[in-house]
Amino acid sequence: MGKICKFALEINKQSFVIKKIVILQTDINHLFEKNNKMDEKHKPTELEDVVIRFAGDSGDGMQLIGTLFSDASAHYGNDIATFPDYPAEIRAPQGTVGGVSGFTVHFGHTEVNTPGDYADLLVAMNPASLKASVKYLKPGTTIIIDIDAFTDKNLKKAGYKTSDPFKEDGLEDYNIIPVKITSLTREALKDLNLDNKAVTRSKNMFVLGMVDFMFSRPLDYTIQFFEKKFAGKPIIIEANEKALKAGFNFAESSHAIFSFKVAPAKIESGRYRNINGNTATAWGFLTAAQKAGLELFCGSYPITPATDILQELSKRRDLGVKTFQAEDEIAGISTSIGASFAGDLAITTTSGPGLALKTEAAGLAVITELPLVIVDVQRGGPSTGLPTKTEQGDLFQALYGRNGESSLAVIAALGPADAFHTAIEASRIALEHMTPVIMLTDSYIANGTQPFRIPDLDTIPEIKPPIVTEPPYQPYERIDKEKMIRGWAKVGIPGLQHRLGSLEKMAVTGTVSYVPENHERMVKERQAKVDAIANDIPEQKVEGNHDAEILIIGWGSTYGHIRRAANQLKREGIDVAYTQFKYINPLPKNTGEILKKYKQSVVFELNMGQFANYLRMKYPGFDPLQYNKVQGLPFTVQEIVDHIKSLLKK
């Protein structure tokens, strides 16, 4: 204890917020020290927000209990954000660091924005999970381990050289709670005559029971889940319920474990559900199709981390969705272009390497001016890169990855729940402006979850594509001079037959043309059409203190981290302005004005500076500082805070 207090004092000098965290930690640890005072148990300590990391072998069911705990917290009224991280291999070698599957949940009674940088509580099911999680821990925090799994063999598998992993990893001052999770689960289920495998499989529920006790979560929610999920298998329901309750009761009667309370957050009223970015994206497209009065077609090829969007949409035959699992990425986009020609809201979903393959066909959609949304769920690149990890490295590919002058719209989702609205917006731009749109999300958005306020769809505006239903029709006549769009002929209508194609077309009539001046005209018309989208999108907003000296710039999925960092800085008395870009091409019209205003600007992005360079090119003379990270991981709030402080010191 003494060491932790000393550590806290040292940190206190540096920042108020870190002090808060450490005090929170010392509070927890303080309570553990007074572990014989039973009355403390019945008065749970109130906490602002908590980050829990569940870590185990990929077969240990960590994702499931993480999700169940998050859902229960959301039900209770906390704001939450979660992030699963699991190996690219389906069944990575058991007991090794590479095979660890983790799930982080951040819940609080204020806005949480991110899944949290560092955990207040770690549950480690084996030595490998401990080893893989060390870098995600707050100093001195609480670690519950399954001591049954800490055998010499497992320690060796995890790469520990001695039998004291805590000493090896410098965790001696941490609050380690060893629990015989495997044997206690076995004990709890001994009357059920289950085989060994089924018993071991229930130990995650024992863990969930313990954590439910620690954070004062009632068990009904989880038990209802068992009843639904395992309907018709009473023995499985019973086993899970028994393990869950055993964990809860064990924690309650243990003198080492205390309970805490995180009061509900002040959240806008309404009906909510928890949603990840891929599901939100899929549902956004369903909504857009309904709002446009069109059928939804999704031609796609499975690729991590985008596959879930195709999977989610393929469930939706009940809403008339046509999903087409194509033979390759190229066929994915090509079938969608065919469906767009046929009059559907057509989308295709992919990740970086797949976007590279779709490049030529995207150019076809550009020259034929057909509406199409291409979703790129970015992952670490180049090439196969880091399939399950997050990155913002495809920005230039989205903007420029085609032959010729082939501008198209690019838009980025700001978070898991925002992906719903971004998918609608991408569809609106594609359909109303007759252009392909690339929607960028990333692995962090795709798999991360957030509470999602369920909108009343009647309040979402209609989408009005320029569908032509009767002759006369000229395929390349700009029927709206402001938007510079051509009309979209309905298929199957007498007199509307026309020809589209990948060869350059004569303006207005659309016949093949090699006339030099016509090519230049058409290139300019297509560019003007994309540029005109700027008249039809909201102005860029600045948040935080508009009069601050420093402007933090971000785009896409880093919004939550930047926002939380700005709030943290404000609490520490440091004013910053921040602005997060969703519309990348075209940029909002007031972007230049914003960029001019601040003495210092710094672009935070998960690549080597693509957006910063894009802004430099678009606004000559604007030369921002950069903060870049390419580790396949999101930013931590702390590194943003620290970097801003270091800039202000200079």
Partner 1 sequence: MATTITKENLYKKVNLKPTEYKSDQEVRWCPGCGDHAIYNAILKTWSELGIPKEKIAVISGIGCSSRFPYYVDVYGFHTIHGRAGAISSGFKTARPDMSVWQITGDGDGLAIGGNHLIHECRRNIDLNIILFNNEIYGLTKGQYSPTSRFGQITKTSPYGTIERPFNVGQLVLGANGSFFARTIDAYIKESVEVYKAAEYHKGTSVVEVLQNCVIYNNGAHAEITNKETRKERQIWLKHGEPMIFGENNDKGLILENERLKVVKIGENGITEKDILVHDAKTDNLGLHLMLATMSYPEYPIAMGVIRDVSRPTYDELMEKQIDEIRQKSKIKTVQDLLNSGNTWEIK
Residue ranges that bind partner 1, judged by CB under 8 A: 71, 74-75, 77, 267-274, 283, 286-287, 290, 295, 297, 299, 316-320, 322, 324, 326-328, 330-331, 334-339, 341-344, 346, 360-361, 363-364, 368, 454-457, 491-503, 511-512
The nearest distance, CB 260 to partner 1, in angstroms, is 21
What angle separates helix 277-292 from helix 307-314, to the nearest 10 degrees? 50
Cβ-based nearer residue to partner 1, 363 or 416: 363
Minimum distance from CB of 271 to partner 1 (Å)? 5
Nearer to partner 1, 148 or 344 (CB): 344
Supply the minimum distance, in Å, between the C-beta of residue 460 and partner 1. 10
C-beta closer to partner 1: residue 98 or 495: 495
Give CA–CA dist 501/510, Å, rounded: 9
CB 48 within 8 Å of CB 96: no
Q: What is the 3-class SS of 583-630, one letter each residue?
A: EEECCCCCHHHHHHHCCEEEEEECCCCHHHHHHHHHCCCCCCEEEECC
* Phi-psi sector, 626: left (phi>0), alpha (psi -120 to 50), beta: beta
In the complex, the smallest distance separating the C-beta of residue 67 from partner 1, rounded to whole angstroms, is 10
481, 466 contact by CB (below 8 A)? no
- Least gap, CB of 403 to partner 1 (angstroms): 11
Q: Which two tokens stand for residue 169?
A: 């990893």
Q: For residue 430, which phi and psi values (nearest 5 degrees)?
A: -60, -50
Strand partners, 452: 273
User: What minimum distance in Å lies between the beta carbon of 249 and partner 1?
Assistant: 26
Name the residue nearer to partner 1 (CB basis): 322 or 589: 322
Nearest approach, Cβ of 317 to partner 1 (angstroms)? Answer: 4
Query: Which CB sits closer to partner 1, 499 or 524?
Result: 499
Q: Which lies closer to partner 1 via its Cβ, residue 344 or residue 605? A: 344
Residue 65 to residue 82: CA distance in whole angstroms: 12
Strands (E), 48-186: 49-57, 79-85, 100-108, 119-124, 137-146, 175-179
How many Å separate Cα 2 from the centre of its chain?
Answer: 39
CB of 270 to partner 1, least distance (A): 6
Q: CB-wise, 265 or 398, nearer to partner 1? A: 265
Q: Which is nearer to partner 1, 210 or 288 (CB)?
A: 288
Distance separating the N- and C-terminal Cα atoms of the chain = 36
Residue closer to partner 1 by CB (options 3, 499) is: 499
Q: Measured from the CB atom, is 229 or 524 closer to partner 1?
A: 229
Q: Nearer to partner 1 by C-beta: 44 or 264?
A: 264
The Cα–Cα gap between 525 and 501 comes to 17
431 contact partners, CB below 8 Å, separation of at least 6: 288, 292, 294, 345, 371, 463, 464, 465
Backbone angles phi, psi at 107, to 5 degrees: -135, 150
Question: How crowded is residue 572: how many other Cβ atoms within 10 Å of its Cβ?
Answer: 14
Residue 483 · residue 435 · CB < 8 Å:
no
Tokens, residue 503: 């060869």
Nearer Cβ to partner 1 (368/392): 368
CA distance 244 to 422: 39
Tell me the C-alpha distance between 429 and 485, whole Å: 11
Which residue reads 């055998």 in tokens? 151
In terms of CB distance, is 162 or 269 closer to partner 1?
A: 269
Closest approach of partner 1 to the CB of residue 289, in Å:
8
- Nearest approach in angstroms of CB 519 to partner 1 is 17
* Both tokens assigned to 595: 């960029």
Q: Which amino acid is at 400?
A: Y
Smallest separation (angstroms) from partner 1 to the CB of 454: 5
Closest CA to 451 of 159, 74, 110: 74
- Closer to partner 1 by CB, 221 or 619: give it: 221
CB of 364 to partner 1, least distance (A): 5
Residues 6+ apart with CB under 8 A from 404: 363, 523
To the nearest whole angstrom, how small is the minimum distance from the Cβ of residue 504 to partner 1?
12
Question: Count of CB atoms within 10 A of residue 516's CB?
Answer: 8
Least Å from the CB of residue 503 to partner 1: 7
Whole-angstrom Cα distance, residue 567 to residue 560? 11
Tell me the β-bridge partners of 103: 54, 84
**What is each CA distance from 137 to 118, 588, 638, in whole angstroms?**
5, 39, 13
Using DSSP's 3-state secondary structure scheme, residue 450 falls into strand
Give the HSE-up count for residue 32: Cα atoms under 13 Å, Cβ half-sphere: 20
Least separation in angstroms between CB 328 and partner 1: 6
Among candidate residues 434, 436, 519, 522, the one with its CA nearest the CA of residue 483:
434
Amino acid found at 398: A
Q: Residue 525 in contact with residue 481, Cβ under 8 Å?
A: no
Name the residue nearer to partner 1 (CB basis): 183 or 216. Answer: 216
Q: Which is nearer to partner 1, 278 or 290 (CB)?
A: 290
Beta bridge partners of 262: 47
CB of 48 to partner 1, least distance (A): 19
Token pair belonging to 204 = 């995650």
